[in-house]
Each structure stands twice: as C-alpha cells, then as structure tokens.
Structure 1
C-alpha cells in the first residue's frame, strides 16, 4: 500500500460528512411518516459529543502509532514467521487475519473490564446514526488495542500494511452505524451489515454482547455470537446503566473512574485483579465471600456491563 495510511480516515472525512448529511436529511423527511424511531435521528448535543470524541480519539491514535509502529517493526524484523510475496494473496491473508483479530479484540472489549472501560464510550449513546461511528475513546491506546495487531507482524506483514488494514477495517465500519438501511439478504451471511450492527449496539437482553464483526460476519456465526435483528424486539440503544450526559470527558472517563473506585474497595490481590480484568459487572455482583470466582457471562451490572 503505497500511501500514508494514517491519513486514510482524514482523506475519507468528506465522504463520511456527505453520508451524515444525506442521512440527516433523509431522516428529517421521513420523520412525519414515522418510519424511524427517535433514536435514529440527529440531536445537536449528541452529534457534537460524537464529533468531539472523534477529534480526541484521532489525536490519541496518532500518538499511539508512534509507539506501536516501532514495536511492530521490531517483531517483523526479528521474529516474523513468513515472507509474503506482494500480490492479491498476501493482501487477502492480511485482510482475513486482521479481521479475525478485530473480532477477538472486540469480543474481549466486552468481556474484560479494562478494555470495556475504553470501549464503553462507543456504546454510551442512546442514539444510533452514522455520527455514532465517530464516538470513539482516546483511551484505546491505554487499554491496549494496539497489542492485538502484533500477531500480524509475527505473521510477516510489515508495519505500514498493518496500520493500513486496521484503518481500512475501521473505515468500513462507519457505514454500518445506521437505522436507514434495512436487512440486506444474503450479504448478512458474509459481511457485517447495519442490521447486524444495530443488534450489537442494543441493550435489549437478547442482543447484549452479540455481533462483534468488523467486516466479515463469518466469525460471529463460527464462534456462536451471532443474533439476527428481530422486528418484534426493536433494538434499544445505549448501555444498561445509561450515561445521560453528552459531555465528552464524562463519556471518556466515567467507567475508568468507576473501575478505580472498585479496585480501591476490593480486599486481596485476586479481587483487585478481578476488578480490572474480570467481566465488567463482576464487582457489582461480588459478595465478598467468593473472591476467586469470575462468572462465565456478563450480566446487567451496576456499571453498564453487557452480557452474552
């Protein structure tokens, strides 16, 4: 990929903004006909919060690459297992491998509280439209998102290609954050779609912690996390304990604050470790007696965890 991939999302910004403009216009026209839920429509405070979070995230991301790329380069130079010849086969292998690792990262971000503390920002809005895709956390580098791409360097992909494919994956996901697109038939068996992602953002009990796909939907079907959107159970968006704020700083740090509070009140190393790395609601269900028990599944806990 012969371009500075770190500028990809910036280069696509006019496309994203044009799509947001179209969606806002379309939803406004459809409002009188009641075609879409209120949660689909744009609200100034929510949209501005999403924009602020996007700018904060982009700044942190640029700084994170300064650390991550040398790590990828070190692994690539000293420990790579394969040598790929340039071409479509190498690109396809990189695309599939990164998409699988994204699924692993995304699922872990709902199962490990340290990762959820960053990822919860993306889920905290009670609206879902294209601007929600911008709702990202500046704390992803601290949570360790970049660590999940190290296996790509081990597999023999150079750092520039790793950065590029990560950003291509994220760029694709912009288009699935909408309620204006219905189910897409057979495409649902191959690709992540708006219908699949509406399920992922929902807090309904049957939808929580489902459909982790980045680009390909095959991983959810393969690993048992797929649930289809049901018209009889329309998605309700947001986290189980609503944030009720459009302050980007509160959206960014509220779960880190709650996690630090729980870490401080726990007694014993095991319980404190669990406060950071168990499922997000572990502390809310901790009774002080079973100090080593980490439940298999999340439940609707005090701090907005999401269950499988």
Structure 2
C-alpha cells in the first residue's frame, strides 16, 4: 500500500491531538455537567494502546488485503478514472457500504467480537475514537469494500476514501457539541453518535451512519437524542478492565466458548458465530424458563 494512502490518519494526528487537548481543557471544572465525558489516565492510555495495536494489525494485514484487492481489480467491470465526480460517487457508495458494515458489526456476533472494543468504555470523548480493535482484519471489515473494487474504483482510491470517512468520525465522538440544526438531517453528528454509543434500551443499536445519517433514516435505524433521556455509555455486559489485550479478545473468547459448549447441534454451534450477540443469552434464558416450567409441572 502506498505511503500517502496508508498513513492518511497519521497526517490527521496533530489535528486529533489538538482537539483532545482542547476538550480536556474545556471539561476541566465541568465534571457535574459532563460526568461521563471526563478523561482519566487509565481510560485514555487504554484507548491509545488500542489504537496502536489496531494500526499495527492493519499494517501487517495490508499486504495480503492489497493482493486480494489488486487481483480483483484485474477483473473490474468498468474503467473509472479518478475525477471529482467519480470520487464523489465513491464517497457516497462507500458510506452506504460502511452503514451495512457497521450494522453487521452490531447484529452479527462474528463482527461484534471486533467492534465491541470500540463500545466498551463507559466514557465518551474524542479519545474514544481511538478505541479500535486489532482484530478487524480477521473479522473482515475489508470485505465490505470488495464491490467498489469489482466495479472499477482503484484500490488505493477506495482505501483513501475509507480513511477519510474514518477521520471524519473522530470529530463526532464528543459530548460537548450541541445539536447542529439542519446538518442533523443529512450528516452524522455528535448528537447522533452519542445515541449510537448509548446502551439505553431506547437507543441501543441505532444510528449506524459513518458520514451521512440519511442511511439510518432510509432503513429505519435512526433515533434522535432526547434531552430527557441522557445517554449511558458502555456495553450491556460491561467489562471492568482497562487491559488492552483483554478488551481486544474477551468477546472472541466468549464466542468460541459458546461454540464449543457441550450438548448443542452443529446448527446451534455455527449460529453463535452469525446470530446477533444477544442470541445465545436469550437462548439460555429460554432454556432456563423451559426448565423452570417443566419442574413446576412435575411438582
């Protein structure tokens, strides 16, 4: 992968760190107003280490992924040159596919095993954007961009658009930004993304947008942030650790444990991989209820 494509996010690093420093300063003395936005050394360092692990894993996987992309590009359907209009089209199409990647990352446990890392903090601030998983190459984020390359968009251009999309998303990880008027109808904003990070039953698994919120509005996954319902951050089965290795692997371990559990059909073992993350827990509750009813019937 070419240097100027692979390191786009590094080029943004001074801007990212500048916003983090500003947010730390702004939040000082406002703990009662923004209790879950405060920076702590443990959480922030954990986010930073996770970001470095993520970048290292992406750099290692990039060689193999680019071989796949370039091979597929050899069979592309259309000749698409890099112009303003083609890149604008690519931006919209990639954002559409990002929506489905992000939705899959919440509703398919195999993908959730990676994405859960990003949601595992009970705080939300700019540094949370760095909280990424090193296992995305394994779960297969890169698979979602294959249709773009098959159409004829150049692999390096696709990667660049993906990275710019991710760079934009850094700026929506904050609690200090208010709602932004008409922008809220078209673009993903801090308000929309606060809802996405919330574990409140009314908010959970909503607002999957990358850059454009229009996909959520079209596909029925949009929920507006409500002043009377403050966001509670984290995951439903909250993991109480700042250890980056544990944060990266805990859901993979839990998923594989469920796959290997005794007294299951092959169908149920496989379903632990592709069913929603809560499926196994709901199944256990159903079995418990059946057992309870059976016991009552016998008594």
TM-score band (shorter)? Answer: over 0.9
Partner of 2:14 in structure 1?
A: 14
Q: Tell me if 1:189 matches 2:174.
A: no
**Out of 54, 60, 63, which is 2:60 matched to?**
63
Distance 2:213 2:124 in 1: 20
**Out of 111, 115, 118, which is 1:119 matched to?**
115
Query: Which of 1 and 2 has greater Rg?
Result: 2
Alpha-carbon shift at residue 288 of structure 1 (Å): 10
Partner of 2:226 in structure 1?
A: 230
Query: What's the secondary structure of 1:222's corresponding residue?
Result: helix
Alpha-carbon shift at residue 285 of structure 1 (Å): 1.8
Structure 1 residues 288, 207: closer, same or farther in 2, change over 3 A? Answer: closer
> Which string of whole-angstrom CA distances, capped at 9 and with x for unpartnered residues, describes residues 34-80 of structure 1?
332x11110110000000000000000111211111111111111x1
Moved over 6 A (4+): none
**Out of 27, 49, 53, which is 2:50 matched to?**
53
| Residues 63-72 or 40-49, more deviating | 63-72
Instruction: Show structure 2 runs of 5+ residues with no match.
Output: 288-299
Tell me the TM-score normalized by structure 1.
0.90
Once the two structures are superposed, the pairs formed by residues 1-308 of structure 1 within 5 Å of their partners are 4-31=4-31, 34-36=32-34, 38-78=35-75, 80-265=76-261, 267-287=264-284
Tell me the TM-score normalized by structure 2.
0.92
Alpha-carbon shift at residue 3 of structure 1 (Å): 6.8
Instruction: Show structure 1 runs of 5+ residues with no match.
Output: 291-308
> Which string of whole-angstrom CA distances, capped at 9 and with x for unpartnered residues, describes residues 150-178 of structure 1?
01101111111011011101000000000
Structure 1 residues 89, 47: closer, same or farther in 2, change over 3 A? Answer: same
Distance 1:29 1:263 in 2: 48
| Residues 158-167 or 22-31, more deviating | 22-31
Distance 1:250 1:85 in 2: 44
Figure out how many residues of one structure are paired with residues of the other and give that number: 285
Structure 1 residues 102, 150: closer, same or farther in 2, change over 3 A? Answer: same
CA RMSD after TM alignment? 1.5
Distance 2:62 2:163 in 1: 12
> Which string of whole-angstrom CA distances, capped at 9 and with x for unpartnered residues, describes residues 155-209 of structure 1?
1111110110111010000000000101111101111000000000000001000
Distance 2:230 2:128 in 1: 18
Query: What's the secondary structure of 1:227's corresponding residue?
Result: coil
Alpha-carbon shift at residue 226 of structure 1 (Å): 0.3
Distance 1:138 1:20 in 2: 22
Distance 1:72 1:155 in 2: 12
